[in-house]
Amino acid sequence: MIEQFLHTALPAAYRLLDIFFGGLIPTAGVGGAVEAVEYVPPSTIYAALVVLAVLGVIFGIALALVALRFVVKVDPKVEQVRDVLPGANCGACGFAGCMGYAEAVVGRQEVATNLCAPGKAAVAEQIAHITGKAVVTTVPRIARVFCQGGASLSGRKFIYNGVLDCTAAVLVAGGDKACDYGCLGYGTCMRACPFDAITMSSDNLPVIDADKCTSCGKCVAACPKQVIEIGPLAKAVVISCHSRDKGVDVKKKCQVGCIACGICVRICPFEAIALENNFARIDFEKCEVCGLCVRKCPTKAIKDHIPVRQKAYINPEKCMGIDVCTKVCPVNAISGDIRSVHAVDQDKCIGCMMCVSRCPKQAIELRQAPTFSSGRKKAKEGATIGA
């Protein structure tokens, strides 16, 4: 009927239809019941359209009926938690995707709220709020590289020409690096990282992106030299060397190795550093991240991961001249007479924050170092802190 209507009313359209569907489409080898037909008659096209449409409608209605009849009530909290989660389905929580974790954390009492590694503390807090569970405070952690001896700063035992992978390189006499405890620099950790948080620096050392690192520990397992460890993110001062060689040997092999001189052990105001197996280690429980040891280390083996430290500043209105701060300051940056307003020498202050907690009047606060008055010397100092 449609055919005849088209034929009389719109001959051009009919001819188009005829060309496209009537005569020109070869159908040999399409298979099934049309094997013997040399061209597809328009009636087949209409039949196909009608059949597909009817089947579609029938299936649609059937599915709608089934969905109505077998509706499963989902706890609205599950949906809320799922919306809070990052939705990366990374599996770091140990469940099958974000939805799996959302269901588990709502449905089971023993599942903790802080298992989402990419979401960090903010998500844990929101989940705890939704589920009514106690907030478990997590100490954010990060992978730390315990080696600073890049290609330019450390020696090589021989020239390695094999596969550019640490696990392969370590098979050849423990790797080509002179130091037996250092990073080989062939990037096995970078390839192991599921979050792309590790990049190799121009000096062949892994650099960890604090924003992307979820402290999953894949790089720790991948490194054949055990150079990487997981540590608390807040404890940003790290003695970045694992060498158990004697100081003399370390000095020969690497310019930034720990020579176990013990200066940091003596200088640390919190007695957080101890010498063990010919290298110094910071006890993160005791460390207050003052950064004093970073300044004093003769080989620069201690790394401060805080990019730019803030400086102490004394509020003259609150300062009563009690003089505790001058005694407590490890670098003698604070000066002033008793009972008069004290001042901080911004060039000397290393931002260790020790005076802040000691001031009974809470007159000391940390501020971003003013860059305009710093000049060349300050910029240079900033660079060494960051390095």
- 114 with 124: CB under 8 angstroms? yes
Dist CA 387 CA 384 (whole Å): 5
Q: How far is the CB of 30 from another protein (least distance, A)?
A: 4
- CA-CA distance, 307 to 205, in Å (whole number)? 18
DSSP for 339-380, written as a single string: TS--EE-TTT-----HHHHH-TT--EEEEPPPSTTTHHHHHH
Q: What angle do CA 144, 145, 150 make, to 5 degrees?
A: 155
Which C-beta is closer to another protein: that of 46 or that of 270? 46
| Smallest separation (angstroms) from another protein to the CB of 39 | 12
Q: How far is the CB of 38 from another protein (least distance, A)?
A: 12
Nearest distance from C-beta of residue 45 to another protein, angstroms: 10
The sign of the dihedral angle between the CA atoms of 368, 371, 374, 379 is positive
> What does the DSSP 8-state code read for residue 182?
S
Nearer to another protein among residue 16 and residue 96 (C-beta): 96
> What's the angle, vertex CA 214, arms to CA 213 and CA 217, rounded to 5?
95
Go through the chain and tell me how many residues it has: 387
Kindly list the residues in this chain that would bind another protein in the complex (CB under 8 A): 27, 30-35, 37, 44, 47-48, 51-52, 55-56, 59, 62-63, 66-67, 70-72, 96
Question: Residue 63 CB, nearest distance to another protein (Å)?
Answer: 6
Residue closer to another protein by CB (options 69, 376) is 69
106 or 352: CB nearest another protein: 106
Least distance (Å) between residue 185 CB and another protein: 22
Q: Which is nearer to another protein, 66 or 172 (CB)?
A: 66
Closer CB to another protein, 59 or 158, in the complex: 59
CA distance 78 to 130: 9
Q: Identify which of 303, 314, 300 has the alpha carbon closest to the alpha carbon of residue 346.
A: 314
Minimum Å distance from CB 110 to another protein? Answer: 18
CA atoms within a 13 Å half-sphere pointing along the CA-CB vector of 369: 21
CB-based contact 116:93 (threshold 8 Å): yes
The residue among 13 and 74 lying less far from another protein, judged by its C-beta, is 74
